Amino acid sequence: MLKIGSHVSMANGLLGAAQEAFSYGANTFMIYTGAPQNTRRSPLEKLKIPQGQKFMSEHNISDIVVHAPYIINMASFKEDTYNLACKFLETELQRTKALGSQYLVLHPGAFTKSTLEQGIENIVNGLNKILSPDLPTVCLETMAGKGTEIGRNFEELSQIINGIDFKDKIGVCFDTCHLHDSGYDIVNNFDNLLEEFDSKIGFEYLKTLHINGSINERGAKKDRHANIGADESNPRGKDLIGKKALYKIVHNDVFKDKPLILETPWLDDKSNLYKEEIAFLRS
């Protein structure tokens, strides 16, 4: 059976997140430990972790994923921004561990007014200060290529991974929208993409998948998610990746037993929509 779920809310702690995921027919899920735009965090004792873990055990939910907040920019050349990123990433890894998750997905960062080389060096140095054998794995997300963000291709991710000391604590999170928007042909040549990834990075680093349609043409570098197979009537836009391609990707053997996470847009009827998308991908 696929290990598939969606992003869910932590408004009622881990228990509420697990209950929401279960209501969608999911057997895994992804969360933020707090708001992704700031550093304010509720104490761990308020997150209903034992109750949530008990519910998950009783309902066969496992391998949950935590997403790091957007404000972490490990590539920044600004000392205060970089120091905040390192300190907060370490805090988020400790919270990820306390929640019982093995994976923290991280946007690698943007070099802004610096250089790509300096940005990658900053990321490597920061991660090497933070990663340790007793912490969860940091999964670098494949990015769409907006502006100066790093991780828009396998070469950039490979440069980061090659510089990491604790290589068993670094991984990659595929994002279908980001791969498509960055220019990879995931609709017609996903098998070739996998071969390229394996040769440049290695399948052992592929830990999780974000499942998203895209409203953009391939290579647009815009990062605009769409619901799976959505047509022009969808308020968030038409999916230009398509149901057939996403279904095929999800069922590729490379993702067997890995947590697969929907990040498709939340609409007013999100519960039914997530149920439908999960049911379609399971079918």
DSSP conformational letter for 142: P
- The whole-number pLDDT of residue 253 equals 97
Buried b (16+ CB within 10 A) or exposed e, 186-203: bbeebeebbeebeeebee
- Range 196-201 average pLDDT: 98
Q: For the whole prediction, is pTM greater than 0.75?
A: yes
Please report which residue ranges of 100-189 form alpha helices under DSSP H: 116-130, 154-162, 176-182
Contact 88, 38 (CB under 8 A): no
The full 3-state SS of 5-26, as one line of letters, equals EEECCCCCHHHHHHHHHHHCCC
- The whole-number pLDDT of residue 77 equals 97
Q: What is the C-alpha separation between 126 and 117, in angstroms, rounded?
A: 14
Q: What is the C-alpha separation between 245 and 149, in angstroms, rounded?
A: 26
Q: How confident is the model over 99-127, as pLDDT tens digits? A: 999 999 999 999 999 999 999 999 999 99
Query: Which residue, 19, 25, 26, 4, is CA-closest to 53?
Result: 19
Give the number of other CB atoms < 10 A from CB of residue 230: 22
